[in-house]
Amino acid sequence: MSETAETQRVEPNALTCQPPAVSPDPNLSANYVQGWRFGAVLATLLLINAVSQIDRILPYILAEAIKTDLSLSDTQIGLMTGVAFAVCYTLLSLPLARQADRGSPRMVLLICLVVWSVMTALGGMAASFVFLALTRFGVAFGEAGAIPSGHAIIARTIRLERRGLAIGLFSMGIPLGTMVGFAAGGAIGDSLGWRTALIGAGALGAAVAVLAYLVIPSTPRVMVTSKVTEPFLASSLRLLSVPAFRWLVIAGVALGFASAPFYAFSAPFLIRTHGFTASEVGLSFGLLQGLMGIIGTLVGGRGFDRAVRSGTGRVLGPPAILFLISSVTVTAALFAPIGWVAILLFVPTMLAFAFLLPWAFGAAHLVAGPGKQAMASSLVMIASGLLGPALAPLMVGMISDAATSAQIPNGLGLGLLIVPVACVLSGIACLIANQRIAELIRKT
């Protein structure tokens, strides 16, 4: 199917009652992939998302080796894993999402994949903090378009009744990438060095880009039928004016403050506090994260599909409850006297992060309506990927450095108390968004 020859027309947003930007096509079902192609497309998208997460997560498990080799402080590690990535990632997410919505999400995804793979490999050649931070900017530049364009591909090629499962499978790449990144990254870092780990990850991304070019089909373009095309900034502000979506964004902001420091400093915390090696942390923490991610995204995707079919609009209750539970367990983990107990107490939080993904993105798509799924995904990503990842790791690093200077024990654990506080706030925001979406459903 040619991207220039085919045009997808979709229906106006029923929830927000926005003016119709596109019109329905009675032959829309012809654009959906079927049979083996359905599995091949989803498997490739999952692999791309996994590679994206590997490239993002590697500096976390390699942080101690990088810190020693380049003589960095915890504050610099926080800057590298936080601000250097988050700022570029979020600033570019929305324009790349707009391009995916209006143009070819396939080409956006392929170009982004090549960019972040090259920049990951260049990170392995860094000889200073500045150069390494610049490569993280480059990785963020590429990865900013991955999830929005992936969601746009799903929206144009997967039937509505299977999209919760499709988003769940696509999202499963995040925990799988985390598992591989922690396990393989820790092992390679200990045996061959952190530079080899980054260069190898970049080479893997280049190979996946070739596979994606061959497997992912050309997607039909969206044809705007309204006389006036609303600028993407105005369209974004219109969506943010909807209370249900606004509370979903607030939940995303809180999620960023919980997840970013959790992944940035859990490995250093376990290594320093409980004496694990990078390989041991990578294997145990990574495998558990991968297992929880598989369970969370698959069960979450199916759960979201059932919630949508119920017609009640209550599509965020279960993840909200899980976040409230995880706030208790992660607090206990930070003060557990035994290492393996601390790791086990981290498990509910790992599950909560993965479980939320299909619910949050599915709810965002539901409120935004057809033709704006990539933009909705981008706004949720900006919410979870800007303030939290930019500030929370830096805050944890500064608290840890200050505690170390004052000779206070478990300084890194004290800094990581940001995580349970943010989990509580995210759970509360999800409960409010859940109610607001239900109100929208009742009005339509």
**What DSSP line would sit under 289-340, residue for residue?**
HHHHHHHHHHHHHHHHHHHHHHTS---SHHHHHHHHHHHHHHHHHTT-SSHH
Residue 198 contacts by C-beta under 8 Å, 6 or more apart in sequence?
58, 62, 120, 121, 123, 124
Of 32-41, 48-57, 60-69, 427-436, the poorest mean pLDDT is in: 32-41
CA dihedral 141, 142, 148, 153 (to 10 degrees): 160
Which of 199-213, 224-238, 332-346 is predicted least confidently? 224-238
d(CA 151, CA 55): 20
Asked whether the predicted pLDDT for residue 239 surpasses 50, the reply is yes
Q: How confident is the model at residue 234 (pLDDT cuts 50, 70, 90)?
A: confident
**Greatest alpha-carbon span in the chain:** 69
8's enclosing H/E stretch is strand 7-8
Q: Using 50, 70 and 90 to split pLDDT, how confident is the model at 229? A: low
Q: Are 50 and 173 in contact (CB under 8 A)?
A: yes
Distance separating alpha carbons of residues 240 and 228, to the nearest angstrom: 20
φ/ψ (deg, to 5) at 221: -75, 155
pLDDT, residue 213, reads 92
- Fold for domain 33-216+232-443? Growth Hormone; Chain: A; (1.20.1250)
399 neighbors 40 (Cβ within 8 angstroms)? no
Reported as a single tens digit per residue, the pLDDT across 291-325 is 888 899 889 888 888 888 887 778 899 999 999 99
Contact 216, 44 (CB under 8 A): yes
| Lowest pLDDT segment from 2-11, 295-304, 364-373, 390-399 | 2-11
C-alpha–C-alpha distance, residues 129 and 160, integer Å: 46
The H or E element spanning position 222 is strand 221-222
228: pLDDT confidence band, cut at 50, 70 and 90?
Answer: very low
How far is residue 209 from each of residues 51, 229, 364, measured CA to CA in Å?
10, 33, 28
Q: Which helix (H) or strand (E) holds 70?
A: helix 63-70
222 φ, ψ (degrees, to nearest 5): -90, 125
Which helix or strand (DSSP H or E) is residue 259 part of?
Answer: helix 243-274
Torsion of CA 68, 70, 74, 77, to 10 degrees: -120
- Considering only CA atoms, which of 147, 137, 148, 143 is closest in space to residue 87? 137
Q: Give the Cα separation of 333 and 423 in Å (integer).
A: 14
Strand partners, 7: 221
Domain boundaries, the chain: 33-216+232-443
Mean pLDDT to the nearest integer, 167-196? 86
Q: Give 48's contacts (C-beta < 8 A, 6+ positions apart).
A: 109, 113, 146, 150, 173, 208, 212
pLDDT band for position 6 (cuts 50, 70, 90): very low
The distance from CA 55 to its chain's CA centroid, rounded to whole angstroms, is 13
Share of the chain above pLDDT 70, in %: 88
Nearest-angstrom CA–CA distance, 118 and 368: 34
144 and 92 Cβ atoms separated by less than 8 Å: yes
Helix (H) or strand (E) holding 221: strand 221-222
HSE at residue 6, side-chain half, CA atoms within 13 A, is 18
- Residue in the block written with tokens 């991610």: 293
- The secondary structure element, H or E, covering residue 139 is helix 129-143
Tokens encoding 81: 């894993």
Share of residues in the chain with pLDDT > 90 (%): 33
pLDDT digits (tens, 9 = 90+) for 99-138: 887 778 889 999 999 999 999 999 999 888 889 888 988 8
Count Cβ atoms below 10 Å from residue 75 Cβ, excluding itself: 18
What single-letter amino acid sits at 420? P
Residue 226 tokens read as 């309204």
User: pLDDT digits over 380-430, tens only?
Assistant: 888 887 788 878 888 998 998 898 888 888 889 999 999 999 999 999 999
Rounded to an integer, what distance in angstroms lies between the CA atom of residue 422 and that of residue 260?
A: 11
Work out the average pLDDT over 338-350: 94
